[in-house]
Structure formats: structure tokens, C-alpha cells
Structure 1
Amino acid sequence: MADLTSRLADRLLSLEWMMATAESCTGGLIAAHCTDLPGSSRWFERGLVTYSNAAKTDLLGVPPDVIAAEGAVSEAVARAMALGAFYRTPARVSVAVTGIAGPDGGSAEKPVGTVWLAWCIDGQVHAERQNFGGDRQSVRQATVAWALEGLLLRLPQPHA
């Protein structure tokens, strides 16, 4: 994953952009992978761990009625988290994740391993649902990798 993070860092540096994270099920692991790289303060602005519903509302502005209607693990909440990180920080891009890492907490509709990810680039949000297998650690690590890869794929190429 260090190579992926390095490529993301290079792209953000070439664009002269900062990123922010809004994390629930990963509990700050995305931010940790980013800040493992020396010099990350030049492209990583901040990470917000919003594990509880109250934190999602307080720190990111996710409307409580959206959480109540859709559930914390939903496209609507992931999108709101990404937008909250974008609009409440100086970052040009954000990534948000909310999911069920297990081993319990799943349901027939949202089994363990269900994760919603959202990426916000200059105010435009893209979201997708993934279902990762394995134990809690595997789900969390897969989420980190998918979040970083998804951001890298969605960032514009730097101007020559």
C-alpha cells in the first residue's frame, strides 16, 4: 500500500492540492497510511474520525434525519461525509468511508463487509458500495486500499 500512497502523494503534489479524510469504519487508518509518508503535510490536510452518528453530524454536518432514514452505512451518508470534509476544510479533495467491518453488526440488507465510499473532488461527489470479505482487519485494510485507489483514479492528471 506504500506504493499506492506514494503515487497519490505525487499526484496531489503535482496538482498542488490538499486532501482530507472522513472515516468511520476505518477509524483513521486512511489518514494513518497517508501520514506514514514523510512530507505528507504538504498534501494531507486533516483526517476526521467520525465513528458515531453524533460525530458525523457535529464534525461533518451530516443531517441526523438522513442518518435516521438511510442508516449510517448508506450512499447518502457517505456522500454527506465527503461533502462535509470538503466544505469544512481547506482541502480540494476528500474521501469518506462508512461501513460494517464486523464481526457483528451486519444484516441481510447490509452484511458484514458492506462499505460505502465517497470521493469529493472540487465539490463533485462520486460514491460506490463495496462488499469486502474476511475478518474485521481484512475489511478495514481493503477499505483503505479501495479508498486511496479510488481517489487516485478520480484525480485529474496534472497539467504539463
Structure 2
Amino acid sequence: MNSKSLLLALCLLSFNAPACETSQNLPGQNIDVYFERNSARLPGAQILKLADWVIEMRKFPIKEVMSVGGVAEQSERKPFILASQRADAVRAMLMQFGLTGIPYGVRSGIYKQSPYLREPPEKVRRVEIMLVPGCPNNCCDGYMIGP
């Protein structure tokens, strides 16, 4: 190997590509949709709210994962089944609105009152949704969203 080739090889080996300086994903985008007592049927106003949110989420070309969590009050009829039905109804609606091809994490549970934080019942009967948008090559450096 001549000296020019050796020098070039050493330069290439010593060149370090800069690491990702920022996060690998953008912050989660959240929304809650609310239900009537003992119901897994989405009220019309909540469907419109969800549709508007889905339209807003179109600005993210990369969608890493969608989390959908159904919640019911302990005092509702069959609360664990109801929470699961709520989560499934919202997941189906999200997919109907076009959020497909994304891994979905669907969970359900019964709301447990905290002695320090008490939510009003109408805020407990809900589905919590979070979309985690991603960045190209898992690096958000210089990645801009929107127009």
C-alpha cells in the first residue's frame, strides 16, 4: 500500500459521523375521548373530536406506535369488560379514519381513585390515546414537521 492510500485509509477510519443530538422520536401526541356511563358507544361530539385529531396527526409521516387505553369506573356495570370494549371501539374508529399500518398497543383497566387526585366521573369514563411519531433513521436532528 503506498503512502497516499495509507493516509486516505487512516483519514476515512478516523472520520466519525456525528451521533444523533436530539431524541429518536418526537413527543407523544395525546387525546382523551369520553363516554357515557355504562356505554362503549362513542358520542357524536367525541367522534368529531377524534376525527379532527386524526387529521392533525397526518402531519407526521412516520408513526411509530399507537397506544389506546380504555378506562371505566369501578361502579359501572362489568367495568373491565366495558373498558376493553371502549378501547376496541376507539381503535376501530382510528383505523376507520385511516390510521392503519401502525402497531397498536391496546389495554384496559378500572380507574382507581387516588386520595390525592380525584377526577370527576365524566373524565374517568374515557379512552386515552397516544401516537408516537418517529423521525427518519431514528434521528430527529433537523427534522421539521408541518408547512
Q: TM-score, normalised by structure 2?
A: 0.36
More helix by share: 1
Q: TM-score, normalised by structure 1?
A: 0.34
The structure with more radius of gyration = 2
Higher RCO (Cα < 8 Å, 6 or more apart): 2
